[in-house]
């Protein structure tokens, strides 16, 4: 499934992934930017129309929940970025990540460990 989110939609989804099912006021309170209630409601309804969010009725309010997993959205975003900016090459993406950031020794070691485990799982 290809999951495409605007920045605002991603912010709202992040609240739902972290907090779990929430009403509009709860989502709004967790956002960094002060958005109007109606703006948050519109974003949630848009996400619902895309199939990324669902809701359950609780009396007079709707409690919204993420209908897609955070990891699925991350993988979709990564596929999009890799295809759009790195000619579909994970190697070019990785090279950019390594060269563009000042990584700590611990981060470099964790990346090595991840690469090693990925290599071992391919050999099995």
Burial 25-60 (b: 16+ CB within 10 A, else e): ebbbebbeeebeeebbbebbeebeeeebbebeeeee
The pLDDT value recorded for residue 4 is: 92
Q: Give residue 74's pLDDT band: very low, low, confident or very high (50, 70, 90).
A: very high
Per-residue pLDDT tens digits for 21-43: 999 999 999 999 999 999 999 99
Angle between helices 90-100 and 70-85 (to 10 degrees): 90
Q: For residue 103, count other CB atoms closer than 10 A to its CB.
A: 14
The pLDDT value recorded for residue 119 is: 81
The pLDDT value recorded for residue 70 is: 96
Per-residue pLDDT tens digits for 97-115: 888 678 888 988 998 898 8
* Nearby residues of 83 by Cβ (< 8 Å), 6 or more positions away: none
Q: What is the pTM of this model?
A: 0.81
DSSP state of 51: T
């Amino acid at each position: 499934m290809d999951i495409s989110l605007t920045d605002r939609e991603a912010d709202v989804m992040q609240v739902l992934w972290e907090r779990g099912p929430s009403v509009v006021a709860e989502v709004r309170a967790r956002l960094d930017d002060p958005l109007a209630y109606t703006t948050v409601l519109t974003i949630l309804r848009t996400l619902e129309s895309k199939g990324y969010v669902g809701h359950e009725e609780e009396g007079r309010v709707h409690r919204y929940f993420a209908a897609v997993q955070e990891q699925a959205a991350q993988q979709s975003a990564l596929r999009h970025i890799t295809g759009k900016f790195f000619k579909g090459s994970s190697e070019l993406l990785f090279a950019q990540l390594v060269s563009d950031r000042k990584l700590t020794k611990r981060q470099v070691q964790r990346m090595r460990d991840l690469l090693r485990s990925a290599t071992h799982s391919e050999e099995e």
